[in-house]
Structure 1
Amino acid sequence: MALTLCFLLLLGLCGTTVSEGLPSPTKSPDVLEFELPAMNYETKDSYDAGPIGGLFQMVRVFLHVVQPNPFPEDTLRKILQEKFDISADYEKIISYEIGIIICAVLGLLFIILMPLVGFCFGLCRCCNKCGGEMHQRQKKNGTCLRKYFAVSLLVICILISIGIVYGFVANHHLKTRMERTRNLTDSNFKDLRTLLHGTPAQIDYILGQYTTTKERAFSDLDNIKSLLGSGIHEQLKPKVVPVLEDIKAMAEAIKETKEALLNVNSTLDQLKKSTAQLNTSLSKVKGDLEQSLNDPVCTVPPAAATCNDIRTSLSQLDYNNNLGQLPSLDEHIDRVNNILRTNLSSQVQKGYKSFNDIPEMVQNQTTDLISGIKSTLNSIGSNIGNISKQIPIQDKLSNFMDYINSTETYIHRSLPTLEEYDSYRWLGGLVACCLLTLIVIFFYLGLLCGTFGYDQNATPTRRGCISNTGGVFLMVGVGVSFLFCWILMAIVVVTFVVGGNVEKLVCEPYQNRKLFQVLDTPYLLNENWKFYLSGMVFNKPDINLTFEQVYRDCKENKGIYATLKLENSYNISEHLNIQDYTGNIINDFENMQVNIDNVVLLDEAGRKHLLDFNSSGIDKIDYDAYLAAVNKTPGELNLSLFADNLEAKANDLPQGNLKQSLKSTAETIRTIYHDQVIPLEQSMKYVKARNTAYKTIQELKHNSSGLPARVTNILSSLDSAQDFLIKHVSSVIVQEMKKYGNTIIGYFEHYLQWVKISITEHMAACKPVATALDSAVDVFLCSYITDPVNLFWFGIGKATIFLLPAIIFAVKLAKYYRRMDSEDVYDDVETIPAKNF
């Protein structure tokens, strides 16, 4: 019944179109990510029997020994094709079932012969035959035989006990598993409902993701200024921005040049003022010395030589830093001021603004086009919604849900009856195991009492009560064995034939899928249909749709659409052709026109500004002369040494006015050195002004070097950038527009591809159907019922078969434990062996 249920569930899902499976994450750079809502199922994918699984495997090995023949696919196909008419194939069936038949025949012989043997044995015993005579013959090997019989019976009882344990375990396992059947059924039906109820939600999710995709596209369309416009702007930036930066740097350089020229002029004036008094003092001292050297004493040797030396050294008093001889910078400053009357920086900012307005221009020129694209995207959403309605899902689901409800009601109504029958079966199995247990207990008690109550010195007629009780227990066990062993064997034969065949003909071929291969035989279930399943689903029996493929795909949790090849009924690929939806959008982007020809980086006034600066003559100033003049310091005049030499030479002159005058002048020079030169050298203001002037002049020299070449390069780059904006900007616009359009279209291509994959591969993932079928066949029929039933007959059959040797050894051993009515009488010489009994 459960197998039929799952098969019908599978066919019911075949009639529907889609349902849900595991989530299918789809990841792609810069696009939306979608993931179907996950389904949580309760039923486990596989069944684990636990530690008892080893016993089940042992029974399977035994069945393989008894029935080693492979699964009779051809024979089964022929039987099904002939509507279960086995008259023509009975030889093949017998050949396949020969092992089971032999075992069953042996069991039947056991069932028939054991009561007859027991009846004859009882009659024979009543006639004091077959060991019924209460007289024991004395034998020399009697002790060895007794021990042999006792050990053999003990071993056989242990083997019987193991079989009984197998029976108890199998009987209990079957009962507990039958109690779990209700939970297993509820779990499978709940999973199937989860599968069916989740489908509409997932369809809504798929349709809802179009809204998400559309909103993302609308957001990008509304941000065309920052996406497309900025993209064009970024592509042009490497060509345009460096030129504007150079012009901007040149504007700053012009301002800095003016400041530097003013700074140099101011510093030079300050330096001239600082050295003016020193120049005056030194000129006066030099004049006084020249006047003193005109004294007549200088004409008379040797004073004449000294005077000539002094006259020659007067050049050391000259301090001329040539500051006054340097050309004025006022003319250059005026030229720069004239240039600065036109604000080159503001013109550069206009160029920047014109260039940075490109995104705004793009947005203004594409307003109508964006509205058209939005309308197209809205129509795509309507088409996708219509496709979902064309797939017959909701109606099929409602019908299938009614079928599931009615089937579940039927199963729940039948389960109490099944549980009641199982309780009878459990009770019968328990009685069978208890009968065997009772028999083996009699044997154990007989061995226990007989072994521990046996007295070697007692004669057969004088054996103790305990020993005699042991013998009685053994004979009671034999009697009970004869009474019930044939009933136990009948149970074993029935369960063996049924359980063995179910294991070999259903469970094994189901697990290795050979059973599906038989069902997939062309024209097997319907002589007019090549493939039965495709005939049921599509009424097209030529479509290669097999039970094995459907089960395998469901086991792998594939979607019903791909599993049942529903493209033969409704080809989703044709209705979700990406080009049909994105073609209009592509055409809209290809027809998009954006014009940015009116971008002007620098007007003619700005060009003239640069050319005027280039011709201002800044680069022709003799900066080396300025540097040499500024670099000359008062510290270069060694007035102290000059005064010392002058005084020394004056001492070589004769006494007189000349000598006194020269000494007085030497002292004056020392005074000038200490009062003017040293303070001037130590003046921070003077040092700072001189250093500032030197540094500024160096900067001017550096900045002005190559000025014409720089201006020429800037103008050349400007012309090149402006020409690029005029002639080549269209290719940049086309490139960026294509990239922008691909981004927008990519959202929908990705969405439509995800929809196609979700419907064809992931939606309605039919794993619950395969799980339900596994639950019905592999779990319920095979694991819950067949495995414990096989273990039950294996254990009970093993114990029942071992009753045969147990009966023999028990009868033999009872002679050594029971008290005899008579015994052999011997002479004194020969009575000694009697002590061995």
Structure 2
Amino acid sequence: MVRKIIRKDFDFTVDPKEIAYYEIGILTCVVLGLLFIILMPLVGYFFCMCRCCNKCGGEMHQRQKHNEPCRRKCLAVSLLVICLLMSLGIMYGFVANHQERSWVKRTEKLAESNYRDLQVFLNETPKQIDYILAQYNTTKNKAFSDLDGIDYLLGGRIRDRLKPKAIPVLDEIKAMATAIKQTRDALQSMNNSLKSIDDETTQLSASLTTVRNSIEGSLNSSDCTSDPARKICDSIRPGLSNLGSNHDTTQLPSVDRELSTVNDIYRTDLESLVKKGYTSIDEIPGKVGNQTMAVIADVKNAVDSISSNIMDVSQSIPIEKVLLEVSHHVNNSYSYFHKELPKLEEYDSYWWLVGLIACFLLTLIVTFFLLGLLCGVFGYDKRATPTRRGCVSNTGGVFLMAGVGFSFLFCWILMILVVVTFVIGANVEKLLCEPYANKKLLEVLDTPYLLKEQWQFFLSGLILKNSSINLTFEQVYRDCKGGLGIYATFHLDNVFNISENLNIEEQTEKIMKELENLNVNIDNIELLDKTGRKNLEDFAHSGIDAINYSMYLKEAEKSPTKVDLLAFASSLEAKADQLPDGKLKQALKTDAQNIRTIHHQQVLPLQQSLNTLKQSVWTLEHTSEKLPEKVSKIIASLDSAQNFLASNISSIVIGETMKFGRTITGYFEYYLKWVLYAITEKMTSCKPLTNLMDSVVNGVLCRYSTDPLNLFWFGIGKATVFLLPAVIIAVKLAKYYRRMDSEDVYDDSCVSGTWHFTL
């Protein structure tokens, strides 16, 4: 029906029937209301006429009945319940009237809030665009930082790719250079130890020979010819043969030749040559930085050109134009609202006054009924006859009849008000509020060619100037409600495609081409030169592996003397103590002391020299073990690493350069994706627009206006309808409270079994 009405295709012969069928419930209630409006005044008129003619209960005479107390109480309770129900409806009316009174003020506050939100939305949108596009500087600074640090980023990556092959070999060569130094030191120590052992052994042999000759001289003296000295001297003689050196230095050849060879090898300073190999690897980042300065400057220029392109794009985005148009409509609407606000307040005050009068009329009627009940119940005297009822009871009856009179006077007017508000409120709720809540109203508005015959889709024709684009009210409402950006919601890509205009593929290709011009030359890396290689080979053939180290160890492990001199001296001294005092005893004790002196001054230093020799031999034996094989393995690893550098360094440089270029361009590709996402999905969320729509329809039209209006007719209508039973009960109940003009008199005489009543 709405579509037909908008299209002006409404058939007055057919369509009203469909509308009547759709509105059958509302029309039924309206007919009942109209019957009430028509019949109540007529009934009141005839009722009044009948009462004036002492009909319809107008006669001031009450018939006495057996169940009178019960009837009176039931009628009073019924009227009280009806009055309470009417009071509840009147309360609804007062509440609804108060809400209607404040709807203009609430609407004004809601309008102010929505207007502020829209202003923030309109003002912040350009700032958000500028912020998003300004983030390019962050991306550019990051790219510049990487370009400035190309020596460590690109050169460092190349160096790290070469290190696993080069560094282990250099470490092995460095360890061999340390072994050469240790070998030279060990050979030097061994040679010195051999000389010391030779000299100390010769001196020890001479000293021991002198002591032995001295002892033999003492034993050959005349003092040893008689007992008991003779037996003691005979016991000393056999041990003198052991008093001598235990070493033959002629069996330990010198290592002067090997020491001379190793000294010649050591003079080459293999360690400094290895340091050159380390340096050649560590200098790669510096070489990369020095060789790429010109290319990096060109890349930076290409990056700056992207910046100028983005600034041009930011000025071409049509969002600001759309927002200016929206802002114009918003400002005009807000100005019109404030212009019409005084009229709304005036009309609202009229309505409030009408509603207040209606509520007070009903309150007055209910008050009469309640006062009538109050006076009637508390003023009623069961012992008083109908003609002798008290003043209070009679007043209660009068109040009840006054309530009846006011009911007939005003109920039809109240019902007119109820019918009008019911028709307006029910139709607005049914035709606007409910369809808006379930989005059927938006579906109606999205009907093609409905709002404008030339436009398939009204919104796309209004905003995008192209009505063929599928842009609907329902989709816009859903997207805005979900917080989607205005660009995606209104399909602004049909007006200005950010993806195409922010396409930096050409610039990134230019950056990659510039980076391909990087000519990094690091092919001249030499881990070890020919001198170092020869040094290793000479060390392998130095002959230290041919030395008979077991012979030296066997000789070094021997005791310096054939006998323990300290034990020999103690034994000699003990035997001398057995001799009688004299020259022989004194001479032997002197010889024992000399032996101890020889032990401390000559044997101990000789033992130290032997230990030193032993340590040097162990070091040389460990170093020389499979020395040629070790050197051959090192040289093979060196050749392998050098061949790897020669054959792979160019591909490594190219590969790492491409990775570096993809890293730089990746910053801008990621920035572009982020810009597209931010502008299309997150930036300038149009949620304030849906908030405005919800505020106008759900807030102002439905919650602030229609809901109080529906509550008003429900409350007032409920109270008005309950006037019907209230009037009937009040008329019947008034008979029991009012003072009558006549009453029934009972006679106790009975004729033929029946009672005779007289008046």
Q: TM-score of the superposition, structure 2-length normalised?
A: 0.90
Structure-2 residue corresponding to 1:779: 699
Q: How far is 1:729 from its partner? A: 0.7
Give RMSD over aligned pairs.
Answer: 3.4
Query: Given the alignment, which residue of 179, 190, 196 partners 2:105?
Result: 179
Is the counterpart of residue 473 in structure 1 residue 399 in structure 2?
A: yes
User: Residues 181, 651 of structure 1: CA spacing in aligned structure 2 closer, same or farther, 3 A cutoff?
Assistant: closer
TM-superposed CA distance for 1:210, in Å, is 1.6
Paired residue for 2:264?
338
8 A contact 1:639–1:669 mirrored in 2: no
- With over 3 angstroms needed to count, the CA separation of the structure-2 counterparts of 1:461 and 1:648, relative to structure 1, is closer
Q: 1:477 to 1:680 in 2, by over 3 A?
A: farther
Query: How many angstroms does 1:322 deviate by?
Result: 4.7
Whole-Å separation in 2 of the counterparts to 1:725 and 1:448? 117
| Corresponding residue of 1:555 | 481
- Residue equivalent to 1:546: 472
Q: Measure, in 2, the Cα distance between the counterparts of 1:124 and 1:272.
A: 166
Mapped pair 1:799 → 2:719: yes
Match of 2:73 in 1: 147
Conserved? CA contact 1:619–1:704, under 8 Å: yes
Asked if the contact 1:243/1:717 (under 8 Å) is kept, the reply is yes
Whichever residue aligns with residue 194 of structure 1, its letter is V
Counterpart CA distance in 2 for 1:417 and 1:772 is 22
Question: Tell me, which stretches of 5 or more residues in structure 1 are unaligned?
Answer: 1-74, 299-304
When structure 1 is superposed on structure 2, of 553-562 and 616-625 the one drifting more is 616-625
Paired amino acid for 1:810: A
Q: How many residues align?
A: 746
Q: Deviations over 1:426-485 (max 9, x none)?
A: 222122112111211221121122112221111111222222222222111111111111
Shift of 1:577: 3.0
Structure 2 unaligned blocks of 5 or more: 225-230
2:331 is the alignment partner of 1:405: yes
Provide closer, same or farther for how the CA distance between residues 275 and 477 of structure 1 changes in structure 2, counting only shifts above 3 A.
Answer: farther
Query: Aligned ranges for residues 204-219 of structure 1 at < 5 Å?
Result: 204-219=130-145
Pairing of 1:314-713 with structure 2 (within 5 A)? 316-322=242-248, 325-634=251-560, 637-639=563-565, 670-677=592-599, 691-713=611-633
Partner of 1:23: none
Amino acid of the structure 2 residue aligned with 1:677: H
2-side partners of 1:181 and 1:392: how far apart? 33
Going from structure 1 to structure 2, the CA distance change for 1:113 and 1:327 (only over 3 Å counts) comes to same
Question: For the residues of structure 2 that align with 1:478 and 1:635, how far apart are their CA atoms?
Answer: 153
Partner AA of 1:171 in structure 2? N
Hey, what's the Cα distance between the residues in 1 that align with 2:606 and 2:694? 105
Determine if contact 1:336/1:616 at 8 Å carries over to the other structure.
yes
- Partner residue in 2 for 1:750: 670
Query: Structure 1 648/430 Cα, relative in aligned 2: closer, same or farther at 3 Å?
Result: closer
Q: Please give the per-residue CA displacement for 1:810-837, whole angstroms capped at 9, x wherever unaligned.
A: 111111111212111112579xx9xxxx
User: Structure 1 residues 648, 181: CA separation in 2 closer, same or farther (over 3 Å shift)?
Assistant: closer
SS in 2 for 1:827: strand
User: CA separation in 1, counterparts of 2:145 and 2:46?
Assistant: 101
1:247 has 2:167 as partner:
no
CA distance in 2, matches of 1:324, 1:161: 140
Tell me the residue number matched to 2:658.
738
> Which region of structure 1 is more displaced relative to structure 2, 225-234 or 617-626?
617-626
Is 1:728 aligned to 2:654, yes or no? no
**Contact 1:450–1:467 (CA<8 Å) still a contact in 2?**
yes
One-letter amino acid matched to 1:807: V
Contact 2:216 2:237 in 1 (8 A): yes
Q: Distance in 2 between matches of 1:391 and 1:643?
A: 114
Does structure 1 conserve the Cα–Cα contact (< 8 Å) formed by 2:448 and 2:457?
A: yes
Report deviation, 1:324: 6.3
Tell me the amino acid that sits aligned with residue 118 of structure 1.
G
The C-alpha deviation readout for 1:787-826, integer Å capped at 9, x for no partner, is 1111111111111111111111111111111121211111
Paired with 2:18 and 2:241, the residues of 1 have a C-alpha distance of 144
Partners of 2:51 and 2:58 within 8 A in 1:
yes
Distance 1:244 1:461, change over 3 A: same
After superposition, residues 36-185 of structure 1 pair within 5 angstroms as 75-185=1-111
Measured in 1, the distance between the counterparts of 2:349 and 2:267 equals 114
Deviation at 1:727, TM superposition (A): 0.8
Deviations 1:664-721 (A, max 9, x none): 997677445544436778x6x7776665554443233223323222222222222222
Q: Are 1:589 and 1:737, in contact at CA under 8 Å, matched by a contact in 2?
A: yes
Alpha-carbon spacing, 1:689–1:132, altered in 2? closer, same or farther (3 Å): farther
Post-superposition shift, 1:614?
2.2
Aligned-pair CA distance for 1:641: 5.7
- Could you tell me whether the CA contact under 8 Å between 1:350 and 1:601 is conserved in 2? yes
Q: In structure 1, what is the Cα distance between the partners aligned to 2:79 and 2:608?
A: 128
Residues 342-374 of structure 1, C-alpha deviations (whole Å, 9 max, x = no match): 222222222222222211221222222222222
Q: Which moved more, 1:385-394 or 1:711-720?
A: 385-394
The match for 2:155 is 229
Look up the match of 1:810.
Answer: 730
- Change in Cα spacing, 1:690 to 1:648, as seen in structure 2 (3 Å) is closer
State the alpha-carbon separation in 2 of the partners of residues 670 and 289 from structure 1: 9
Query: Offset at 1:102?
Result: 0.4
Distance 1:86 1:267 in 2: 135
The answer on whether the counterparts of 1:323 and 1:630 sit within 8 Å (CA) in structure 2 is no
Post-superposition offset of 1:325: 4.1
Counterpart Cα distance in 1 of 2:608 and 2:234: 40
Partner Cα separation in structure 2 for residue 282 and residue 160 of structure 1: 146
Distance 1:639 1:394, change over 3 A: closer
Secondary structure at 1:733 match in 2: helix
Structure 1 equivalent of residue 228 of structure 2: none
For the 8 Å contact 2:569–2:593, the answer to whether it is kept is no
| Aligned-partner Cα distance in 2 for 1:327–1:102 | 138
- Report the 3-state secondary structure (helix = DSSP H, G, I; strand = E; otherwise coil) of the residue aligned with 2:318: coil
Deviation of 1:283 after TM superposition, in Å, equals: 3.3
TM-superposed deviation, 1:777: 0.6
Deviations 1:551-596 (A, max 9, x none): 1011111122211222222222222334333222223333433221
**CA contact under 8 A between 2:61 and 2:742: conserved in structure 1?**
yes
Change in 2 beyond 3 A, CA 1:507/1:647? closer
Tell me which amino acid in the other structure corresponds to 1:327.
Answer: P
8 Å contact from structure 1 (residues 443, 473) kept in 2: yes
Q: Is the 8 A contact 2:211 2:595 kept in 1?
A: no
Corresponding residue SS for 1:728: helix
AA aligned to 2:624 is: S
Instruction: Indicate if the aligned counterparts of 2:193 and 2:613 stay in contact, CA closer than 8 A.
Output: yes
Contact 1:257–1:700 (8 Å) recurs in 2: yes
Alignment of 1:21-32 (within 5 A): none
Q: Secondary structure at the match of 1:820?
A: coil
Query: Which AA in structure 1 matches 2:413?
Result: I
Equivalent pair of 2:243/2:561 in contact (CA under 8 Å) = no
Query: How has the CA–CA distance of structure 1 residues 777 and 689 changed in structure 2, closer, same or farther, with 3 Å as cutoff?
Result: farther
Q: CA deviation at 1:191?
A: 1.4
Contact 2:576 2:589 survives alignment (8 Å): no
Q: C-alpha separation between the residues in 2 aligned to 1:86 and 1:697?
A: 127
Cα deviation for residue 224 of structure 1 reads 1.0
Change (3 A) 1:109 1:317: same
Q: How far off is 1:384 after superposition?
A: 2.0
Report the TM-score when normalising by structure 1: 0.82
Alignment partners' CA distance in 2, 1:576 and 1:805:
79
Q: Distance in 2 between matches of 1:238 and 1:693?
A: 40
Cα deviation, residue 270, structure 1: 5.2
After TM superposition, give the deviation of residue 106 of structure 1 in Å: 0.5
Q: CA deviation at 1:495?
A: 0.8
Aligned-partner residue type, residue 723 of structure 1:
N
Q: Give the CA deviation at 1:612.
A: 2.2
How far did residue 619 of structure 1 move? 2.9
Query: Sequence identity of aligned pairs in percent?
Result: 57
Tell me how far apart the structure 1 counterparts of residues 387 and 698 of structure 2 sit (CA, whole Å): 63
